[in-house]
Structure 1
Amino acid sequence: MIRFFDILFSALGLLLGWPVLAVIALIGLWDTGSPLFCQQRVGRFQQPFMLVKFRTMRPGTASVATHLASASAITPFGRFLRRTKLDELPQLWNVLKGEMSLVGPRPCLFNQHELIEERARRGVFDARPGITGLAQVNEIDMSTPKLLAETDARMLRSLNTAVYFRYILLTVTGKGAGDRVRS
């Protein structure tokens, strides 16, 4: 049932949200010269997939977890996109393709070995990664791998349709600050 809602909401989001996506892409083109950011991430069953987001950092910024990135790499428009979570909108394409879910553990980078190990130990990779989830609405990010993996596993054990909608609602209404970036 959750996959049905993923398909429905991602298709509707892309279809109805295309004007917003187009405006953000145009501003992003002016801001960084490259509005989309694509990065290989760890997906379901630890398979690689290409995550798509709106670019919030200057091109050429090191490919590291957000908590390891420098805040000076974020553009002013990128700060706005992160604060409003609009940088996540292109991931609706990943959801529609079946690489992600709206709700699930945030996909990590392949160089985040400790997090991958902790998640593998807890069976977190049996689920599709998501745009939001329990960790995100509680401001737990990838800087605490063990806590994040434990939180992801707890979320997946209790995930049902009602909880799915709860996390989406909490995210849309502004709960959670997203991944922290060092100053």
Structure 2
Amino acid sequence: MLRFLFLESPPGRLRVLAMEPTHWSLSRRRAVVERCSAALLSLLTLPLVLPCLVISAIRFRANPVFRQERVGLHQQTFLLPKIRSLPTTTSSTLDKYSLNAVTYGRWTRLLRRTHIDELPQLWSVAAGNMSLVGPRPEMVALSSTFDPDFVEMRTSVLPGMTGTWQISEASSELINESPEFDRIYVESASAKLDFWILCRTIQILGSGDVITLVDLKERADHKTQHNLIGG
């Protein structure tokens, strides 16, 4: 867990005054367990991933593994792999709202609705560039438009395949429009919270029942007097 002291100075601008790395966020044991788990899951999901790669290669007539530069730990960039779900003519820097305006085919809708296209991210977890749980790794161009303090805070831990924002009601928006989800996670990261997020991720894939900010606050392990409440 990393601890932050947040102040609004000037009003509307988040300033990170202090941070203290603690055991969970940068735990070597956590890293080893997650990387080994991701390697195993990568093998177990191959029977699903490989046919999807073949279909995408045929459907889009391009390399079925789409790689995009994303912002990772300490703002270092890495290439995030996904199963290609869009044609090569689609800009790789479109934000969520722009993508929602695109008319998709059935294959694209299936991949994006089920999030199967994100399974190759397990490779990034196994390589140590990502974690199973953490803030979503953002596109470089989009991250550069965010408040610098917000970017510093959310990149102080490894980005995750799933996380508080990813399973929340705010996931239909841009990350910086509901920053409290990432802020609370970074401030309250723990094994217990990560387990809850993983369980809720599986549940949401089946039911679509996303979490609210109230749900997160009830689950977050707030052990510091400087908790961030709200945006």
TM superposition score normalised by structure 2: 0.69
Equivalent pairs, count: 177
After the TM superposition, which parts of structure 1 deviate over 4 Å for at least 4 consecutive aligned residues?
Answer: 175-178
The alpha carbon displacement at 1:142 in A equals 7.6
The alpha carbon displacement at 1:177 in A equals 8.5
- Report the 3-state secondary structure (helix = DSSP H, G, I; strand = E; otherwise coil) of the residue aligned with 1:39: strand
The residue type paired with residue 141 of structure 1 is S
The alpha carbon displacement at 1:25 in A equals 0.7
Aligned-pair identity in percent equals 31
TM superposition score normalised by structure 1: 0.86
User: What is the CA–CA distance in structure 1 between the aligned matches of 2:60 and 2:167, rounded to whole Å?
Assistant: 29
Structure 1 residue 37 corresponds to structure 2 residue 66? yes
Summarize the Cα distance change of 1:116–1:100 in structure 2 as closer, same or farther, 3 Å threshold.
farther
Structure 2 residue runs of 5 or longer lacking an equivalent are 1-28, 211-231
The alpha carbon displacement at 1:28 in A equals 1.2
RMSD: 2.2
**1:24-51 deviation line (CA, Å, top 9, x unaligned):** 1111112212322111011111111001
**1:111-141 deviation line (CA, Å, top 9, x unaligned):** 11333625235x2111111111111111323
**1:78-105 deviation line (CA, Å, top 9, x unaligned):** 1101111111100001111111111111
Structure 1 residue runs of 5 or longer lacking an equivalent are 179-183
Structure 1 residue 141 corresponds to structure 2 residue 171? yes
Structure 1 residue 111 corresponds to structure 2 residue 134? no
Per the alignment, residue 30 of structure 2 pairs with: 2
The alpha carbon displacement at 1:147 in A equals 4.0
Higher Cα Rg, which structure: 2
Moved more, 20-29 or 58-67: 58-67
The alpha carbon displacement at 1:161 in A equals 1.1
Moved more, 69-78 or 32-41: 69-78
Higher helix fraction: Structure 1 or Structure 2? 1
Q: Check whether the contact 1:43–1:49 (CA below 8 A) recurs between aligned residues.
A: yes
Summarize the Cα distance change of 1:117–1:177 in structure 2 as closer, same or farther, 3 Å threshold.
farther
User: What is the CA–CA distance in structure 1 between the aligned matches of 2:133 and 2:199, rounded to whole Å?
Assistant: 11
- Report the 3-state secondary structure (helix = DSSP H, G, I; strand = E; otherwise coil) of the residue aligned with 2:140: coil
Q: Check whether the contact 2:67–2:82 (CA below 8 A) recurs between aligned residues.
A: yes
User: What is the CA–CA distance in structure 2 between the aligned matches of 1:99 and 1:11, rounded to whole Å?
Assistant: 13
Summarize the Cα distance change of 1:71–1:13 in structure 2 as closer, same or farther, 3 Å threshold.
farther
User: What is the CA–CA distance in structure 1 between the aligned matches of 2:147 and 2:42, rounded to whole Å?
Assistant: 30
The alpha carbon displacement at 1:74 in A equals 3.1
Q: Check whether the contact 1:83–1:177 (CA below 8 A) recurs between aligned residues.
A: no
User: What is the CA–CA distance in structure 1 between the aligned matches of 2:197 and 2:171, rounded to whole Å?
Assistant: 16
